[in-house]
Chain A
Amino acid sequence: MANTDIEARKQELLNQGYTEVYTKTKVLTDAVMHYCPGCGHGTTHRLIAEVIDEMGIQDKTVGVSPVGCSVLAYNYFDVDFQEAAHGRAPALATAIKRLNPDTFVFTYQGDGDLAAIGTAETIHACNRGENITMIFVNNGIYGMTGGQMAPTTLIGMKSATTPYGRRVDLNGYPLRITELISTLPGTYYVTRQSVQNPAAVRKAKAAIRKAFENQKLKKGLSFVEILSNCNSGWKMTPVQANKWMEDNMMPNYPIGDIKVDGKLVENVDVNRLAVDHPLTVMQ
């Protein structure tokens, strides 16, 4: 439906006495998202767009999209955008911000992009304390290429390249890159959130807002991990996938702040890994 049609239909409904409860954020474009229904990318996009809108920084924001499911993120955000080679978004963002210190720069990456092929760029951008916002969507799998093992795939979890489940002796451990970068002095704010229910969405939005506010205050690097399901890659319905994520991803990737205002949060053990956690059955 064209934009004008949408506006006309909306007006018609309002005239009939309906109340507007939900509307598209102006920082998102009218392009129809290609994400699978139920996937966390769409919600995460919306939260970032809302924050940009609410902070009034649309004209100063430059985003960097990865290679992976969110490669086309530039089509959905109505801000200037660069599309990076696989894993290199933090390098692009480093230069964008250093050459244009008045802009707000954010990267948007998945687990394969940020924690496998782009590990070096991730760690060094974090370690330099670049004054940028990094958004990391972790669904434990390579979604776009068809569900292969990611660095964050859980032990025992099935994927196209671990058809009998991930084995430590063969594939090593799931990489908790968020905990890892939290130990670097260059990171100022490190948190893990999720978007599977309204309460989680509200917390995730607050985290993204904080990450952008930190950039405004020139505090250094803010890093927000968003746990997401990959219902098509996991071969589940969206509802099952969210349940599975809560039961299996969250024990390994606990939700909450890891580092706030440059200080590790008390009682957060960044070395902890739930290796003994038995997976609930995957379909």
Chain B
Amino acid sequence: MTEEIIIAGFGGQGVLSMGKILAYSGVMQDKEVSWMPSYGPEMRGGTANVSVIISDERISSPIINTFDTAIILNQQSLDKFEHSVKPGGLLIYDPNGITHEPTRKDINIYKIAATAKAQELGISKVFNMVVLGGFLKLKPIVDKQYIHEGLEHSLPQRHWNLIPQNEEAIEIGKGLIEPVQTL
């Protein structure tokens, strides 16, 4: 199993930390992982993205240009990465702020209205975990117990009291994701 993922959105949406929690969960499950962010001025209020690879084998390149899954949280990222999804791959997007829907016909497309739901529930801080939940519903590449360990390792100990809220958000995301187009 090798899963190559791009997570992309605005800086401040928790893109990098979502990737880190996913990657750390993979480490806890004894998978090979890599987490490769975009960095530099583009992150200051602009777009942020991170490639995460989780695999059962030694990972060759942490830098990749095609993806099994793209998790897209704004229009710029959709424009940039829709064409990088491998044929037959998966595109997940949050419809918040999306004006041009994805157009690919050869990939699976799901949407998750995580921004709206998180606002409704007053849990905007864990919005990214709602999105992660949606992804894990479709691709359960790491087990629930390891997600818990991944959260423990990713968050400083003083924030461990927030872990249950993060896990709840993941569960909410699992129920929220809906298909737009399946092959």
Do A and B touch each other in the complex, judged by CB within 8 A?
A: no
Task: Give the A-binding residues of B (Cβ under 8 A).
Answer: none
Task: Give the B-binding residues of A (Cβ under 8 A).
Answer: none
